[in-house]
Amino acid sequence: MRLERSSLVESIHHGSVAVADDEGNLYASVGDPERVVFARSTTKPLQAAVSLGLIGEDLPDAEVAVMSASHNGEAIHLETVERILARAGLDSAALRCPPGLPLDPESARVVAEPLPVLHNCSGKHAGMLLACVRGGLDPASYLDAGHPLQGGVLEAVTAAAGRPPVAIGVDGCGVPVHALPLVSLAALYARLPRAAPRPVAAMTAAPYLAAGRGRLCTAAMEAIRGLVVKNGAEGIMCAALIGRGLGVAVKVEDGAMRAAEAALVRTLALLGAVPPEAEEALAPFLAPPVLGGGRPVGRLVAEFGLVSA
């Protein structure tokens, strides 16, 4: 990807893309498909599936989608998080994610201070708390890598990726985070429809709850049937092409999210997964403008091909 300003190439974003099938085979790539990355928030649908297994009831699509989300912090997201907590007999004081501000700029302008419920991971944390209450597990220690809930997540990630993580760290929201080769993360997404069927169904049924306005995850799932898209921090984007048994994982080295979004849209187009009627909705993410003085002075260009395995 390159960033053009006033017809000059200002910078180039380096990264890698891996496409894998649901057997774990590399299908296509660019860059280094074996690059090890922390999966960050892309594993939220799997984390939600593990929580749902302990909750023991089928929650509404909106609640399952926000459990799987890096949400914007809009009113609809916060109200849904509060409903999940209420099912557990808890309020937002029980959340152990750090205080945050809404990702949505309009929503951020009207809040007085950072709060845990405003953090984009609060839906996941609310689901984990409900899972602990329903499953008879300690809700105070649900962030610990040795907690039974996190043990279940580790098992789910290992099964879906087809291998154990290279390493386990601590994510920005405090939960354990798993490091995988990019091709294994792509394979995890190829298998996501069967590894996390309820979150996949909820995200595709309620894509606005899975992210929000101005977000590629929501725009892509609204525009393209049979597609799940999930972002992760530091330039990670993943997608599951449900009907084709393919998964995509993108990593931009410098962590630039707009470059990762452009790379994912480019990859989906190269795979023939963007129908003509979806092109307009995805165009702002494929070639976002570069602003100077508040006006467009350039653009970001995703310019690469895929090499078949």
User: 80 pLDDT exceeds 70?
Assistant: yes
- Burial status of residue 303 (CB atoms within 10 A of its CB: 0-12, 13-18, 19 or more): exposed
Give the per-residue pLDDT at 9.
62
Domains of the chain listed by start with CATH number: 2-308 (3.40.710)
User: 117 pLDDT exceeds 70?
Assistant: yes
User: 53 pLDDT exceeds 90?
Assistant: yes
Give the per-residue pLDDT at 3.
63
pLDDT tens-digit map of 3-27 = 666 666 666 788 999 999 999 999 9
pLDDT tens-digit map of 179-189 = 999 999 999 99
Identity of the highest mean pLDDT range in 7-16, 245-254, 295-304: 245-254
Over range 268-297, report the average pLDDT: 93
Share the mean pLDDT of the chain: 95
**Long-range own/partner contacts, residues 3-12 (CB < 8 A, 24 or more apart):** 3/290, 3/298, 3/299, 3/300, 3/301, 4/290, 4/298, 4/299, 4/300, 4/301, 5/290, 5/292, 5/297, 5/298, 6/292, 6/297, 6/298, 7/298, 10/290, 10/298
User: Whole-angstrom Cα distance, residue 229 to residue 21?
Assistant: 16
pTM of the model: 0.95
